[in-house]
Structures are given as structure tokens and as C-alpha cells.
Amino acid sequence: MAANGKYELKLGAATREAFGNALLELGKENPNVVVCDADLAKSTFTHLFQKSFPERFFSCGIAEANMVSIGAGLAASGKIAFVASFSAFVLNKGFEQLRVTVAYPKVNLKVVGTHSGISIGEDGPSQMSVEDIGLACSLAGFTVISPADEVSCFALVKAAAYLDSPVFIRAGRVKVATIYTADQNFEIGKSIQLTDGKDLTIIAHGMMVAEALKAVDVLAAEGIAVRVIDMHTIKPVDRDAIAKAAAETGAIVVTEEHFTATGLGVRVAQVVAETNPCVMEFHGMGDFYAESGTPEQVLTKFHMNAEAVAATARRAMKRKK
């Protein structure tokens, strides 16, 4: 964080790259770590692990469902097993296996989905995963994590490796702004409050955390003081932080690069309803799929930017008043 208390938000690496670097370090630290990939090692950055530890890397071909079952078997035998592919593939194609071979028997498998959301751009809607958070959260016993930048992704992947729970980690394709410094502490299940404000809270995950921080300045110019919370762990969600924000600011906006009907917003709304009911607005993808284009074109057209988040916040403030 800069000396003036504002985040500089300089462009850093993609979270998929941070995942690959964390995996490589885990491989060096612990010979029990193994990795399965579905013919996308260069894209998911598991090729870094593959190059250093080929005997612990299993290429499963274009067969995500089979990969999940292989990973589950390795995890059940006591390995710290990671499986990785695009989110659209590993969650959609592997869902039955995730349910039957991982969630039901409570197998300690780590599942990483890269190229999440609509920011993959030119790959198009067939590979834009806007259902993955909803699918992962529906799996009983799963921990679900969506890091905001390379620093948080690196730290949370390493923490997830030693968590006694099946885990889904959501990563993206494009480079994103770096929010955190290397000395930031991350705890699975505990959100991070980035700014304080009395008027409204914006809760975000993934790349939308940076957009929420940019929206703070836009709204500050209008006299609106905004609290921003990085809800990097979506399940189990940080109930205390949500209840506190609802009580203290009286209005919450949840923004995410995901369907609003099944994402983080639904989980936040449940906590708000159970604790301190307040005005809420939801900013994300509606009941439709995006289109192919450059990441910038797609994100602008479908309102995944600070200006659109600020507009949603204004609606919440109008209802609050």
C-alpha cells in the first residue's frame, strides 16, 4: 500500500502464473506433492512443476473427468494431489467425479481452475467459466477460494495444500493489478478489509477486487465513503466481516466476474438475511453468456470495471437514503 493510504494497483502477473510458481515451490518443499493436468500444462503453468518433477506429474490427456478420478485416487492414497485445467473444463466436465469421488468420500484433493470468468476474451463463451463458483460451492465439504492478485494466489495455494479439505481455487488468464505486498498475511476463511468507510461496503473476489478499489476514488469524489472487503474465501465465507459491514454501513454491493444468481453474492445475502438485513445490490453477469473479443472489449461491454461498480453503488446508496 502506498504511503498516502491508497493502493497503487500496478499491473502484475496473472493468478494462473502465481499458481504455477506456488506449485513449484511446494514441490521443492514436500516430496508428497503430485500434480495431474489435462493436456494444458503450458496454459495452467503446471509445466513449471512438470519440468522439475516429471516423476510426480501425470498428464491425463483431454479427459478432465478421468483426471479428477486419478487425482482423487492419489489423494486417497495420502498424496497432496493437485488437479488443474480451465475452470470451464474441470468443473463442468468433472462435476460428477468431483461429487462422487471427492466430495462424498471427503477426499483431500486440490482442484485448480484457470482461465475463469469472461476475461479470457478471445477464447469465447464456450470457455468462459461463469458458473464455477456456484458449482464448487454446491459440493459438500469443499473450500472455495478466489484470489485477487499474484501475491494472494501464491500464498493461498500454499495454504490450501496443507488444509484438510477438498479445495477449489479459481485463477485467471490475464495479468491483474497487484494489490498486496509480500508481507501480507492470508488466512483461509478470513476476508481482508482493504479500505474503511461508513456509507457503503463493496465485497469482491478475484479481479474485481482491484476494480472495487478503483471505484472507491470515484465515489469518494461524490462524498461517499466506501469500505472494500476482499472475500478471497467464498466457502466458508467470513460471516463476521459480512455481518459487521451490514450493521456499520447499512448497504452492501457484491461484485464478481461470475453469474450473480449463483456466486458470492448469494452467500453474502444469506448471511445478511440471517444477521443484519440491509440494502444490497449485485454486480456481475446476468442470466446470459458473454461474447468473444479482446479481454478489454469483453470486460467493458459486460460492465466488469470500476465505473460500472460505482454505478451499482450509487443505486444502493439511493435505496439506502
Which residues are designated catalytic? 64
CA distance 37 to 74: 13
CA distance 283 to 304: 8
| Cα 212 to Cα 203, 205, 276, 313, distances in angstroms | 8, 9, 23, 10
Q: Which helix (H) or strand (E) holds 209?
A: helix 208-220
Alpha carbons within 13 A on the beta-carbon side of 237: 22
Strands 226-230 and 192-195: antiparallel
CA distance 265 to 137: 12
CA distance 254 to 56: 40
Phi-psi region of 39 (alpha: psi -120 to 50; beta: other; left: phi over 0): left
Burial bucket for residue 47 (CB in 10 Å: 0-12, 13-18, 19+): middle
CA distance 43 to 60: 15
Chain-centre distance of CA 122, in angstroms? 21
DSSP assignment letter at 172: -
